[in-house]
Amino acid sequence: MTKPMVSYKNVRKSFGEIEVLKEVNLEISEGEKVALIGPSGSGKTTLIRMLMTLEQPTSGVIEVDGTPLWHMEVNKRLVPANEKHLRNVRQNIGMVFQHFNLFPHMTVLENCTVAPIHVLGLSKKEAKERAVEMLEKVKLGDKLDIYPSQLSGGQKQRVAMARALVMRPKVMLFDEVTSALDPELVGEVLEVIRELAHEGKMTMILVTHEMEFARDVADRIVFLDNGYIVEEGPPEQIFEYSSNERLKRFLSRFRLNSVYPLTTRSV
């Protein structure tokens, strides 16, 4: 059994009166790839934004590599984390969003070196070496000196991925990274994620509506509905054998409009 890299323990999240996550318990092993699926509004983004420290849980504990994220231990008691603690633990996490949010006035290379220089304190030379390595990994080694406006959506998203990877996070979060792309650009982005997943080392949580892709790269599928984890298991169980009605209803919508058609195997 590998050690948990991420764990959610009795995590709840409300916005005002509305509870959008209800008692979430989830443990993700080091190196595990988890695909988070579920209807719009079910709480997927909120679940991973709490891990990126962009939202604070209302209650419960989230741990990253054995360290509480939103809490710290003082005299053997958990107290709310201070900014320094959050910053330290957050360094383990990288996130790619639906909208790439690149800095428009910086080149591709500069987009990928700014955080290593200013957050990690690397020299310009070290930051550049790392950035070039990651940009080559996402197949943009020939685009270092151009500006985001000159890139396609798929290329922008791959820059966003390289920018997250240069920080060498232990956990990478992908939130519907292909939903804003033109259909013909989806494949190249999924391919880069697939290669990253197959390298094996990195723990990955992917929110996606690409079911065939999820089935291919994920070790485990987690189905979230209405703020609850309704079902989780290996892809085969989720896609072929589940008898859960809500899950079956959700999956039935994907038969026709997946980028990777589901025709080769039945759902």
Ligand X SMILES: Nc1ncnc2c1ncn2[C@@H]1O[C@H](COP(=O)(O)OP(=O)(O)O)[C@@H](O)[C@H]1O
Residues that bind ligand X (CB under 6 A): 15, 20, 38, 40-46
- Using DSSP bridges, classify how beta strands 220-225 and 228-233 pair: parallel, antiparallel or unpaired: antiparallel
**In the complex, least distance from residue 114 CB atom to ligand X, rounded to whole angstroms:** 27
**In the complex, least distance from residue 192 CB atom to Mg ion, rounded to whole angstroms:** 21
Say which amino acid occupies 88. Answer: N
Using alpha carbons only, give the angle 81, 116, 139 rounded to the nearest 5 degrees: 120
Which CB atom, from 44 or from 143, has the smaller least distance to Mg ion? 44
Positions in 32-61 near Mg ion (CB under 5 A): 44-45
Which CB atom, from 151 or from 247, has the smaller least distance to ligand X? 247
- Give the interface size with Mg ion as a residue count (CB under 5 A): 2
97 within 8 A of 160, measured Cβ to Cβ: yes
**In the complex, least distance from residue 205 CB atom to ligand X, rounded to whole angstroms:** 12
Which CB atom, from 62 or from 140, has the smaller least distance to Mg ion? 62
**In the complex, least distance from residue 140 CB atom to ligand X, rounded to whole angstroms:** 28
With CB cut-offs between 5 and 8 Å by kind, which of ligand X, Mg ion, none does residue 103 bind? none
> Which residues are within 8 A (CB) of 94 and not within 5 positions of it... i.e. 6 or more apart?
164, 165, 167, 169, 171, 172, 173
22 within 8 A of 11, measured Cβ to Cβ: no
Which CB atom, from 20 or from 81, has the smaller least distance to Mg ion? 20
Residues forming contacts to Mg ion in the complex (CB under 5 A) are: 44-45
